[in-house]
Amino acid sequence: MSVSHLKPKSRWKSSTLRFSTLMLVGTLIISGLVVALWFAGEHRISQIFEQVNKLQQNPPMWLEAPMVTGKCLLAPTIALFIGVLAVMRVSPQPRTWSRRIVVGILIVLTLRYVTWRSLSTLNLANPLNGVFSLGLFVLEMLMLVSSTIQLFLMLNVKDRKRAADIKSQAVIDGSFNPTVDIFIPTYSEPAFILRRTIIGCQALNYPNKKIYLLDDTRRPEMAELAKELKCNYITRLDNLHAKAGNLNHALTKTEGELIVVFDADFIPTTNFLTRTVGFLQDSNVALVQTPQSFYNADPIARNLGLENILTSEEEVFYRQIQPIRDGADSVVCAGTSFVVRRTALLETGGFVTESLSEDYFTGIRLSANGYRLIYLDEKLSAGLAAENIAAHTTQRLRWARGTLQAFFITSNPLTIPGLSLIQRLAHLEGLLHWFTSISRVYFLIMPLMYSFLGVIPIKASLAELMFFFLPYYLVNLAVFAWLNNHARSALLSDIYSIVLCFPLALTVIQVMLSPFSSCFKVTPKGTVNNYTFNWKLALPLISLFILTAISLWRNLGMSMIQGVWAPEIDNTVKGIGLG
């Protein structure tokens, strides 16, 4: 039995790398050249932007706020707000009909807002304002495209709990009882963590199983642990291809019809196999993914003292994103707590080794070969969340780098043959998600540009904001928690995005320029006991806070000097970054 490591031809990877990098750098050079010519006063460039600015100053009549009082301008917002609250009251948990009503309203409001932003609010009066205004608009549209794709996919969400009830009967009565190999890959985790996982796997209510401890560091204590707990022990001479290589090596040493993978810190419930294996009765189903849940608080929730309020960021992904992906036949294989059919895995060449995200791209290759991946939204295992902010950051940066390597490998979900349009659309949303970190950094620095450079990136009156922006914003705010099954509120979710936006934005840029410059870094588990302050992560945020505070007091002082508190205050809203 052999497993292909799917190593792409170096010539192909090199040409793809050059093309992707040149496309990115070329776009930056061309846009920079246009900006430079605009600042230099080149006639033709200036003339183009003058024409666009005239169109912005004279938008279609239907894009102008009605000439009515403030109360009337609030009427659309109030009506929509009451409408969605009524839907959520009648349907406390999203159902097909209620979700489609709310999502339909959000999509219409988003398109209305985008139309207004693009045809009426850009400030191209001069190069300085124009550059920041266009930059804000482009990055805002990036976020809106990502969120709109997600809304569209919400129109069809799968819930397989009832199907699991039916299909598990064949497993329980023994009529469907394939052999199962349980893989527990380990690199540097302490023995006490692995002991819990192995014992949990031994307690699974399934007779036809074998447990394998896959030690990628050749530690004597791991061999002793496997011997003590009477489970199989597999190691190898090198660490080639990290976790993917470890799993592929184990494939050549085992024979079970199904493979189950648990990370070293994940403990399954006793009914994990009875709830999942039944789905594999369908020969077209290659993989069943279950959610990750955690028995400790993540570092951000713990540092804020909100352990019992904030749901782990990863759990939000499994409550909201995975059911959406299941509806689009584009479930993300998450690297742990899943069952996969051996024959399908071997047919596609084993676990993908091209990327740091071997799990994600293994799922893509299975889908591209015509197999189905399904998601069972039941908590059937629990593991350790990253225990400090450094480990949390390392984990997220590895996910970002691994996912964005899609643009440079054969398993790219946007180009690989065999996927449907809806599947590609779902994977596109997942790729765009990481680019939104750049948008968040831009939004954070935008107020400083207004304060210190006098930049006004959006031209909008208070009436226009009330009529076009407020309905879109408040309805989004009202339904956010309902749509993600009350996993998190809209405001609290931004805490996670802001904390990591600077390192994530830098990683995104680095990956697009040099995608394979970083090796696999294991998230430390069970080894962190002392409190440490992460200056590397905090410094950009502290600097931004200080500059924002200075700009705030500066603006307040200037406002008092210039008498802006007078009744004649102009109603033009300046320096607001809408996102």
- Catalytic residue numbers? 216, 359
Q: Look up residue 48 and give its amino acid.
A: I
Contact 143, 436 (CB under 8 A): yes
Contact 142, 435 (CB under 8 A): yes
For every residue of 189-245, DSSP letters joined together read --HHHHHHHHHHHHT-S-SSEEEEEEESS--HHHHHHHHHHT-EEEE-S--TTHHHH
Nearest-angstrom CA–CA distance, 8 and 409: 8
Q: Torsion angle, CA of 318/216/411/8, rounded to 10 degrees?
A: 170
Instruction: Using alpha carbons, select from 254, 253, 298, 285 the residue that is nearest to residue 388.
Output: 298
- DSSP structure class, residue 7: P
User: Partners of 211 in the beta sheet?
Assistant: 182
> The dihedral of CA 344, 346, 348, 353: what is its sign?
positive
Would you tell me how many other CB atoms lie within 10 Å of the CB of residue 451?
Answer: 18
Nearest-angstrom CA–CA distance, 444 and 509: 18
Nearest-angstrom CA–CA distance, 226 and 214: 10
Contact 257, 177 (CB under 8 A): no
- DSSP structure class, residue 150: H
Nearest-angstrom CA–CA distance, 570 and 565: 10
Return the SS3 of 498: helix
For every residue of 140-166, DSSP letters joined together read HHHHHHHHHHHHHHTTS----HHHHHH
Q: Look up residue 476 and give its amino acid.
A: N
Q: Which helix (H) or strand (E) holds 288?
A: strand 285-289
Return the SS3 of 460: strand
Nearest-angstrom CA–CA distance, 1 and 510: 38
